[in-house]
Amino acid sequence: MSTARIGLSCSLATFDKISVSPSMVNASKIPSSINLSPCFSCECLDRGDKDSILQSSSNLSTLTTNNRLLLNSRTYLSSTSVPLEIDTISVDDDDDAPTDIWLADFESKLSNNIVYDEFDSIPVSRINGSIQDGRLSDNTHRNRYADVIPYDDTRVRLIPTKDNLHGYINASHVKIRVENTIYSYIAAESPLPLTVHDFWRMISGSNIHVIVMLIGNDPQLCANYFPKHKNEKCRTDEFEIELISEQNRQDFHIRYLRMKVLNGQRTRTIVHLQYVAWDEAQLPLDATSFIDFINVANSFRRHYGETNPCLVHCTAGIGRTGIFILTHVMIQCITFNKKVSVASVLKVMREHRMSLVDRTYSYVFVYRCLIDYLKSSRLI
């Protein structure tokens, strides 16, 4: 059988023969101990025997509280992380908000331009939040942007290796409790050529079943980390990823990937959701289609277990990533008639990862999505 191989180099100069701009990576800061040999490749092969699907789940203890907004200290453990403290939002059962009240409040804030002052009042980052790990000389080349660094206590921690001595990746845990459900996310920057393998290590170790990708396929914005064609397989040092099937809708794609651990027979199904309808301001073209996309992601999240984190990434892991998480959380609050302000949710989100929803017009778009959702709900 003939095999067509496409070499995807993990050097900082090229990735699938695509150059990486200097603003993305500072090559001068790469330690000599880092292995820059190719570690990711794609090949078109006939699929062999069907692998069994391993669906593992993580257990989270139930949270209880009587406060509307309370920061609760939780410990998160995964096979690639050490214990770290995670805060969650709690919403009081007594604060009910009928649909009409939500709608009137959101429309009033938009029409009276209150939403702009509200956005400006939200702290961009946590006071005294340490980001020392991301600034270590061994890790700076793993950040796309020098001003977007995860907090030390909420960053995703990988098992250290000789090529990644601190187990560092630019990604943050974000956990939010609404009603009796904990919505668990990992907000991440898109992988660089050098970090593709670590990206999949994070997916494997954090028990990810759903990936939300909020950018197109521009290699300058995101290194190629998954196969684009059926029967194509991509390999890293530890994993083989195969595209099983794909559904293309007008504004987004649904892909089913199989991830296999190369040194064993363990496999996992990964649902990869990519939203592709963006306007010139880098916002979704249509609020309704974006809500549909969020609902699809939420359905898969429930299918694979609500305690499993949903991996959300754009390029920097703050703008569109923040829009998705904030809109999703607020829709859940509306669904359960739980009164919590958009600003208070974003404030706590930013205590997990700095600068989430980084532009005013992005914040306004979240309000427009929620208004559209409420109006649609009234018609049902």
Q: Which two tokens stand for residue 44?
A: 């078109």
Q: For residue 19, what are its two tokens?
A: 């150059």
Distance CA 303, CA 379 (A): 27
Instruction: Reply yes or no on whether 314 is catalytic.
Output: yes
- Classify each residue of 49-61 as buried b or exposed e, where b means 16 or more C-beta atoms within 10 Å of its C-beta: eebeeeeeeeebe
In order of 79, 81, 102, 114, the CA distances from 182 in angstroms are 20, 19, 22, 30
CA nearest to 84, candidates 92, 93, 74: 74
Nearest to 227 by CA among 16, 60, 56, 59: 16
Pick from 351, 288, 276: nearest CA to 314:
276
Contact 84, 154 (CB under 8 A): yes
Q: Which of 42, 234, 314, 369 is catalytic?
A: 314
Q: Catalytic residue positions? A: 314
